[in-house]
Chain A
Amino acid sequence: MVIDLATRFEPKIVGFLCRWCAYTGADLAGLSRINYPPNITPIRVNCSGRVDPTLVLKALATGADGVLIAGCHPGDCHYINGNAKTIRRFKLLQRLLQQFGIEKERVRLEWVSASEGGRYARIVESMTEEIRSLGPLNWKKEMAIAA
């Protein structure tokens, strides 16, 4: 099958990356020239624990098709255990999203260490593919109609 690149859906993903592990890991992917789909745009935060669910909802509401939250592996948090709090918060966020009818594949929590450039690239790749097959979220449009 020939994929028509011109008309193919390109999902828009917002990535919240912690500066110590995930952001450094994502930098490493670039430094190592590992290719992955340029569909993710990073926002740097100090810790994945800073990611308020409101920020995720804001991204989805303003036009993102997916959100990635990435932090240090459990036990490796630069702030002792900020990521443990992210895990707890993320579970509640997933329930909330489910109630909104948003597929759980659209919002992911992943651990990427500063040395895992390859892992980061694979995560973005698989996420992009998954969301591409789900199609656009169109939340922005739907919200506009509802309003």
Chain B
Amino acid sequence: MIKNDIREMGLTRVVVASCSPLMHEPTFRRAVQSAGLNPYLFQMANIREQCSWITENRELATERAKAIVNAAVMRVNFNEPLEVEKIPVNSNVLVVGGGITGIEAALQIADSGKKVYLVEKEPTIGGYMTRFDKTFPTLDCAACILTPKMVSVEQHENIELLTYSDVTDFSGYVGKFTAKIRKRPRYVDEDKCTGCGLCEEKCPLSVPSEFDCKLGKRKAIYRPFPQAVPNVPVIDREHCLYFTKNICKVCVKFCPHHAIDFEQKEKYIEVPVGSAILATGFDLFDASRIKEYGYGKLPNVITSIEFERLTHASGPTAGKIQLKNGNLPESVAIVHCVGSRDQNYNEHCSRVCCMYSLKTAHLVREKTDAKVYEFYIDMRAFGKGYEEFYKRVLHEDVTFIRGRVAEITDVAQNPSEEGKLIVVAEDTLLGIVRRIPVDMVVLSVGLEPRKDAGQLAHVFRISRSKDGFFLERHPKLAPVSTAGQGIYVAGACQSPKDIPDSVAQGAAAAANVLSFVDKGEIEMEPTIAILKEEACSGCKICIGLCPYGAINFDESSGRAVITSVLCKGCGVCVAACPSGAIEQQNFTNKQLMAEIEAICS
């Protein structure tokens, strides 16, 4: 009907008075366009959701509907034909973070034939998962499922792996970004090194290994673990005898491929990409912040990640769960929600701790004869097979005590507590305070945003939610998109997640990227800010206000310049310009004034 009228009567403007434009504005615009009229010469008057559906006062509602239609009619007079700009998309994709999420995203994209730059700040990819022993609820070994994927990344012809590197700057706009990446020096030539490991063997200096939570040792030239990808060691400048005392050089002497290069310098490279996925993961809560748990003071109070290294077959104890003195524990307490669900630290639930605590309990029962006490607040076994795993552990002779632990102390109150760690908690099911003496306490620490999350959010110009994790565009319907077009988030950098959810998000972000990379171009909303150059006084007020850095100052003309592809059309600069030199397309002052007059008269 609309199409026929446009054709037969030669209409130049169209107003539809019906429902909310949020629903059908695109439908009507398409109809108008197919009849040969510019879609922006169409205006919608919403007389349903915000008029007829909110009152039973017919008289007033009718008056109001008239005003709404009148406003649309007056406004449409000033509507101008606008063109949707299409900009080409560079098909290269930047993935930041080489944990399981980033690996999944990178492999999905690379498999489709697109080039991926995978940036990882550690010397190896793999993330936290490389340090885990078993994974819940299936108890498959983390390395068995992860290392093949790591190798695929290394061997993939479409993935350029940049380890020991970070992104320092990210400029441009969707479809055409430039990422500036800092490559820190390894002091080992990646092209010459074959990963034979001779240098590590010969290096005379041993220091505590970060990978093993300082429970084990590594050399000053080291790979974090034997299956590191890339399989190239890195020299720890802080400890290496050459860098600290200008002696030694044993590695140089023994390296059969002359790969050691003490002269290596920090290097910056710039790569062109059309989109980016942030998969930078999480930090673990620092348990020493909770003084009453004694972590750092009481030797046998350890964190869950330390437990992972203890129980790991290739960890510092070769998988033996032991106390600091080498004895086997006769009893172990596992404390949930350390740093999570706690107003003093993090209010959020870290989501994975209930399940990995159950796994901890299972592994202790499997490998030792120790009695296990598990202190929980609520048991959250939400995923596929999780409840079943909980039931299984319930039958493995583990004592579950419902209550938050108040204190862990070595001050005994009676002979049975002598030489033990005493875990004090209110058992909320029995309504009494209990003191449980044990040999070892495992603190199930929660997940936090990474310490550099704020800095990274700034580099990529995206927002963070109140808890400090990256903010998604919509919590339900756009969970991996961000307010920054072409920039996606996946995995635990958005909120705490387990491995299955992280992998799912990595793949989801890859699909999001591919959907517009594959099309080759994206359409830009034309409701952007336009500068009337002759009216600009060069006061620069707009420049500081633009949240996207889309406005710059041109020294030669003394005026502002708007980069239209960067403009998202918020209109903040339009409202602020004291000379009225900036207009927002389809939201011009004329259009809005016409609406106001029509409503008020």
Contacts and interface: CB of A to CB of B under 8 A. Distances in A.
B571 A35 contact: no
Contact of B60 (A27, A39, A51, A54): A39
Interface string A126-147: 0000000000000010000000
A23 interface: yes
A35 B56 contact: yes
B574 A52 contact: yes
B54 A79 contact: no
Contact of A38 (B49, B57, B483, B548): B57
Contacts of A78: 483, 570
Contacts of A62: 596-597, 600-601
A84 B152 CA distance: 46
Contacts of A34: 54
B545 interface: yes
Given A30-B48, A45-B587, A14 B599 contact: yes
A35 B53 CA distance: 8
Interface string B21-65: 110000000000000000000000010111101111100110010
Contact of B466 (A23, A24, A75, A89): A75
Interface string B443-477: 00000000000000000010101100000000000
Given A27-B50, A34-B54, A52-B575, A46 B599 contact: no
B318 interface: no
A79 B574 CA distance: 14
Given A49-B575, A85-B572, A30 B54 contact: yes
B143 interface: no
Contact of B483 (A19, A35, A79): A79
A121 B54 contact: yes
Nearest to A47: B570
Contacts of B587: 45-46, 50
Contacts of B461: 80
Interface in A67-107: 75, 78-82, 85, 89
A10 B60 CA distance: 9
Contacts of B255: none
Interface string B89-121: 000000000000000000000000000000000
Contacts of A79: 483, 547, 568, 570, 572
Contacts of A52: 574-575, 589
B71 A50 contact: no
A36 B56 CA distance: 9
A112 interface: no
Interface in B69-103: 71
A125 B123 CA distance: 60
A53 B580 CA distance: 12
A64 B599 contact: yes
Contacts of A59: 596, 599-600
Contact of B54 (A38, A53, A55, A58): A38
Contact of B571 (A12, A49, A54): A49
A31 interface: yes
Given A14-B600, A59-B596, A81 B64 contact: no
B466 A30 contact: no
B542 to A, nearest CB: 11
Contacts of A121: 54
Contact of A58 (B56, B64, B593): B593
B185 interface: no
B194 interface: no
Contacts of B551: none
Contacts of A26: 49-50
B71 A51 contact: no
Nearest to B586: A46
Question: In this complex, which of A50, A75, A85 has the most chain B Cβ atoms within 10 angstroms of its Cβ?
Answer: A50
A30 B60 contact: no
A53 B136 CA distance: 57
B541 to A, nearest CB: 11
Nearest to A82: B570
B575 A35 contact: no
A47 B572 contact: yes
A38 B600 contact: no
Given A50-B584, A55-B593, A42 B46 contact: yes
Interface string B545-564: 10110000000000000000
A41 B67 CA distance: 8
A38 B71 contact: no
B20 interface: yes
Contacts of B584: 46, 50
Contacts of B592: 43, 45, 55
B578 to A, nearest CB: 11
B494 interface: no
Nearest to A12: B600
B70 to A, nearest CB: 10
Contacts of A89: 575-576
Nearest to B597: A62
B597 to A, nearest CB: 5
B570 A49 contact: yes
Given A39-B60, A82-B570, A27 B595 contact: no
Nearest to B68: A41
A47 B573 CA distance: 11
A37 B568 CA distance: 34
A33 B52 CA distance: 9
B77 to A, nearest CB: 16
Question: In this complex, which of B48, B60, B547 has the most chain A Cβ atoms within 10 angstroms of its Cβ?
Answer: B547
B527 interface: yes
Contact of B599 (A24, A29, A41): A41
Contacts of A45: 571, 587, 592
Nearest to B23: A27
Contacts of A51: 575
B569 interface: yes
Interface of A: 10, 12, 14, 19, 23-24, 26-27, 29-31, 33-39, 41-47, 49-55, 58-59, 62-64, 75, 78-82, 85, 89, 121, 140
Given A33-B53, A38-B61, A75-B463, 6 more contacts: A14-B600, A27-B50, A30-B50, A38-B64, A59-B600, A85-B572
Counting from the closest, the 9 A-B pairs by CB-CB distance are: A50-B571, A30-B49, A79-B570, A49-B572, A63-B600, A30-B53, A52-B575, A62-B600, A80-B547
26 contacts: A19-B22, A26-B49, A26-B50, A27-B49, A29-B49, A30-B20, A30-B51, A31-B49, A31-B53, A41-B71, A42-B46, A45-B592, A46-B527, A46-B569, A46-B571, A49-B575, A51-B575, A52-B574, A52-B575, A58-B593, A58-B596, A58-B597, A63-B601, A78-B483, A82-B547, A85-B572
